Every structure is written in structure tokens, then in C-alpha cells.
Amino acid sequence: MALKKILTFPATVLRQKAKKIIIFDEALRQLAADMGETMYDAPGVGLAANQIGVLRQIVVVDVSKEEKEKEFITLINPVISAGEGCVSGEEGCLSVLEYEAQVKRFQKIHVTAHDLDGKPLAFDAEDRFARIIQHEVDHLQGKLFIDRISALKRSLYKKKLKKLLKGRK
């Protein structure tokens, strides 16, 4: 396994659409394992392939029930086929440095995807789990949670980031 570098906004690859996966092989398993390791190292609760510079439709989502556990699921070609309810909740992103904001999401969603063997999956997700999946599926579409906040908040964040990046140089 190997840790991957997580790219951050405004990296171009975060704005591109990931391609559907059609080959389910050992390399894909390796990619999923690396993504899981990278996510927990960060640490985060979800990671999409765009974030490590890979434009393929694969995300990993933490499903640990206890704090020290490292259990995650891998969703290939995930699609949110239905959604209901609307809830506001705090979100951050490993690719959006030092920022959190309230984002509105569906409370409950229906998800279709494939597992690592290419087997079709279909399930419902609610609350925190649903929020993470919606956030990660956005990544595959080239979207970030800061696209879902007000233009004013977004421009304030961009200013803050500019200062932050300047300070780091």
C-alpha cells in the first residue's frame, strides 16, 4: 500500500469529471487500498479519486462504528438515484484547506454503484453516511462543497486561502 498526495483547491483535477470504471482488476483493488490508507492518514472520512489526481469514478467512505476502527467501503461508479429531505450540516474537505461551512444535502438517498468485483450495489443511506456519499459523488463530477455555499462566503474563503498560501511560501 502507498500513501498518495492529496491535491487541494484550486488544483484543476478537482474541477474535472471522473470517467466510469469498466475494468475491475488488481490495479483497481490496489487503488482502493491506497485511497483508504490515504484517507485515514489525512485523517478524513471520505476520499474521491480526483483528490489524488486520478480521474476515475471511485470513492472510499469511512463506515467505522468505533473511533479506532478503520473500516471503509469502496464505491465504484456511484450514482445517487433518488434523494429526499433537506438537512444543513457542517462540511469540510481534505482538498479545501482550513475551511468548514454549513451545506444543505438530502437527508436520505438511494445509491447505486459497483463493488470492487464489478458486482452491482444498491442501498439507502441516511444522515452522516448520506452526507459523505453526496460530498464524494460531487467530487467525481468536479464539484466541491464550496460550490454549494453562498457566493459571498465563497469569495471570503478564496481571500482567506490566498493569504494562507502566501504565508506558506
Shortest gap between Cβ of 141 and Ni ion (angstroms)?
A: 12
- CA 144 – CA 132 distance, rounded (Å): 12
Nearer to Ni ion, 44 or 76 (CB): 44
Site size with Ni ion, rule: CB under 5 A: 1
Q: Is 136 one of the catalytic residues?
A: yes
Rounded to whole angstroms, what are the CA distances from 49 to 9, 82, 116, 165?
14, 23, 14, 24
Question: Residues 18, 31, 93, 137: which binds Ni ion (CB under 5 A)?
Answer: 93
Interface with Ni ion by CB under 5 A: which range of 52-60, 88-96, 100-108, 115-123?
Answer: 88-96
Q: List the Cα angle 115/82/132 in 5-degree steps.
A: 60
Classify burial at 137, counting beta carbons within 10 Å of its beta carbon; exposed 0-12, middle 13-18, buried 19 or more: buried
Site pattern 38..77 for Ni ion (x: CB under 5 A): ----------------------------------------
Interface with Ni ion by CB under 5 A: which range of 60-68, 85-93, 114-122, 156-164?
Answer: 85-93
Nearer to Ni ion, 32 or 93 (CB): 93
Nearer to Ni ion, 28 or 91 (CB): 91
Whether residue 64 contacts residue 71, with contact meaning beta carbons closer than 8 Å, is answered with yes
Whether residue 55 contacts residue 13, with contact meaning beta carbons closer than 8 Å, is answered with yes
End-to-end CA distance of the chain: 31
Interface with Ni ion by CB under 5 A: which range of 58-66, 92-100, 108-116, 148-156?
Answer: 92-100
Nearer to Ni ion, 93 or 137 (CB): 93
- CA 165 – CA 157 distance, rounded (Å): 12
Site residues for Ni ion per CB under 5 A: 93
Active site members = 136
